[in-house]
A and B are shown apart, each in its own frame.
Chain A
Amino acid sequence: MAEFEKIYSEFTHALLRPKAALPKGVIAPRAPNIIKRFGIYRNNVMVSLIEAMKSNFPIIYALVGDDFFTALAVAFINKHPPKLPMLFAYGDEFAAFIRLYSTADRLPYLADMAEVENLWRKAYHAKDATCIDISALQKIDGEQHLKLTFNIHPAVFILKSGWPIYSIWLGHETDDMGNVDLNIAQNIIINRPDVDVLVMQLDAANCAFFRQIINGKNLENCYNAAMEIDASFDLGCCLSQLFGIGMITGLNIN
């Protein structure tokens, strides 16, 4: 082991623990208060990571306020410190962490909203791709339609929730959280066909349909999954939406 490896282990142990002993061998020439000076590093690390969490989870921040968010973020950072030097990707485990964080009980939808924000960021940074429009479908013999499978844009994500995640998202976007009815359940689809990330609500049948599409099922399976939920499911309407919102990058005739 390199001599300085031991120093770094002591250094990092003390970084995330405000009361831990300082690493051996650090000095500040002619400056007695080393704890305060080491505290600058502690502060840089913790504050910058809290800022990264705020930037990655603006809705959670708005919902719980600064004090609660800071406490939540500090607990999260201690449990799941970042592994990669790319902080835009930090916080994948935040939703699961919130589910287990006892004082988050009074906002039971918080974990699902963290998941919404995770998926939003994944969509934002996903690989770019060119979408095809519905005319591609019209070029294919009608008899083959039910066997088609679809290539999905890498920025497409679906989330099913027992909470009004769409209304909460929209309330945050429009700065109007007043009228959210917490007794309804909503599903959303997130997509970024070009520059802007789009968030849309999906009813249960459409949600079942889109999930099957994303799982690579053919159109017939997708249709059946939707019909099981709602016998009035309108395939034509759903397909124009599928292409209209820029979800499809290719078709496969099987």
Chain B
Amino acid sequence: MVRFEKQRIPPLAGVGLKAQHYRNIIDEKPSLGWFEIHPENYMGAGGPPHQYLTAIRELYPLSLHGVGMSLGSPVKRLDQDHLARFKSLIKRYEPGLISEHLAWSTHEGVFYNDLLPLPYTDETLTHVANHVNEMQDYLGRQVLIENPSAYLSYEDSPYAETEFLDQLAQKTGCGLLLDVNNIFVSANNQNYDCYEYLKAFPVQYIGEIHLGGHSEELVDDGDAGIAKMLIDDHSSAVIEPVWNIYKRLLEKVGPKPSLIEWDGDIPDWATLYNEAQVADQFIAETSIDKKVG
């Protein structure tokens, strides 16, 4: 049933692994490219999370997608304990890809459990680059950095996000993880055009793509009217405009590992698997287009 070599993540759809689906996956062994986990959920010493993950890892390639490294923090060095925990998971599970976020989540000793935005300045670029270097050096692996979803930005933020990520990749040798839903969410919330963002994105560094759902919230802007805010909550299916951006992206970069993220209101396995098959269909069509072209 293992269609690919053990470690490498194939340029196909994968799914964010949820405890609710452990048994489905182990029992049904569905045909799927790979799984991704948040390593923070597997940083306990033992128990069922590791027992299930070990069984699933024997069947599929695995990607580690960190949410707690706080690469955007102003600290001099990253949390050494957290790096050590991360590294021991790499040793244990030999993931094919490792990724983190362009964001911060811990400040002055408190973990806020959200991916908070940073200003894009020369100063933050230096800091984030140092942290990415430290993370890659410590883990001995390349890390992919993901574009955030944002609800606000900063007055003093001279770099465009795409330019910031480009510089970061050049300075550190990191790759990039492009979250298509995040483009859609941020573009709506900050009044820019998704396709302009995509045009400016340094696609040559993309090692992985994320797809997910979001929700809507109305905000009363007084005289300026009612604004629609998009919340990146990964609690629903991918919507058509996001699939459309994904399709355009695939045309630019060809097949890439593409993850379905569904973290809230988690559906049954069949529904989630179906989402992955939609992505695989887009990937298959891209390959055919390339061959024809």
Binding between chains A and B: yes
Residues of A participating in the B interface, judged by any CB pair closer than 8 Å: 1-5, 7-9, 11-12, 15, 25-34, 36-38, 40-41, 44-45, 48-49, 52, 81-89, 123-129, 154-155, 192, 195
Shortest Cβ distance from B261 into chain A, in angstroms?
A: 15
Chain A CB within 10 A, most for which of B111, B121, B229: B111
- By a CB distance below 8 angstroms, the chain B residues around A27 are 152-155
Give which listed residue, B155, B222, B223, contacts A25 with CB less than 8 A: B155
Query: Is B293 engaged at the interface, CB distance under 8 Å to the other chain?
Result: no
Q: Tell which of B70, B119, B223, B231 touches A7, judged by Cβ atoms closer than 8 Å.
A: B119
Cα-based distance from A242 to B41 in the complex (angstroms): 31
B74–A5 CB distance below 8 A: yes
Known: A4-B121, A32-B222. A40 touches B151 (CB 8 A): yes
Q: Give the dominant DSSP class at B's interface.
A: mixed
Task: Give the docked Cα–Cα distance between A29 and B224 (Å).
Answer: 12
From the candidates B48, B70, B114, B121, name the one contacting A124 in the complex (CB within 8 A): B48
Bound together, the chains give a CA A4 to CA B239 distance in angstroms of 35
Is the Cβ of B46 less than 8 Å from the Cβ of A126?
yes
Contacts of B140 in A (CB 8 A): none
Task: Say whether A33 contacts B156, CB under 8 Å.
Answer: no
**A-B CB proximity, top 6 nearest:** A85-B68, A125-B44, A128-B46, A127-B45, A5-B74, A2-B74
Q: Are B220 and A128 in contact (CB under 8 A)?
A: no
Known: A4-B118, A4-B121, A154-B46. 17 other contacts (CB 8 A): A4-B123, A4-B124, A12-B107, A26-B155, A27-B153, A31-B221, A32-B221, A37-B151, A37-B189, A44-B114, A45-B114, A83-B111, A86-B43, A87-B40, A88-B44, A124-B47, A192-B47
Q: Cβ of B1 < 8 Å from any Cβ of A?
A: no
Determine the interface band of chain B, counting residues with CB < 8 A from chain A. Answer: 35 or more
A125 to B104, CA, bound (A): 27
User: Is there a chain A Cβ closer than 8 Å to B158's Cβ?
Assistant: no
Are A33 and B219 also in contact (CB < 8 A) when A12-B107, A27-B153, A85-B82 are?
A: yes
Contact B153 A28 (CB under 8 A): yes
**B43 CB to nearest chain A CB (Å):** 5
Binary interface encoding of chain B residues 149-175 relative to chain A, with 1 for a CB under 8 A from any of its CBs, else 0: 001111110000000000000000000
Contacts of B191 in A (CB 8 A): 29-31
**CB of A101, distance to nearest CB on chain B (Å):** 21
Inter-chain contact B51/A195, CB cutoff 8 Å: yes
Q: B189 — which chain A residues lie within 8 A by C-beta?
A: 28, 37
Do residues B156 and A9 form an inter-chain contact, with CB atoms below 8 A? no
A37 in complex: contacting residue of B44, B105, B108, B229, CB < 8 Å: B229
By the criterion CB–CB under 8 Å, are A38 and B152 in contact?
yes
B47 touches A85 (CB 8 A): no
20 A-B pairs within 8 Å (CB atoms) are namely A1-B74, A2-B127, A8-B74, A27-B155, A30-B224, A31-B227, A32-B222, A34-B152, A36-B219, A37-B189, A40-B231, A45-B114, A52-B113, A84-B111, A85-B105, A123-B47, A124-B48, A125-B49, A126-B46, A128-B50
Choice from B46, B82, B222, B231 contacting A125 with Cβ under 8 Å: B46
Chain A residues whose C-beta falls within 8 Å of the C-beta of B268 in the assembled complex: none
A87 to B107, CA, bound (A): 16
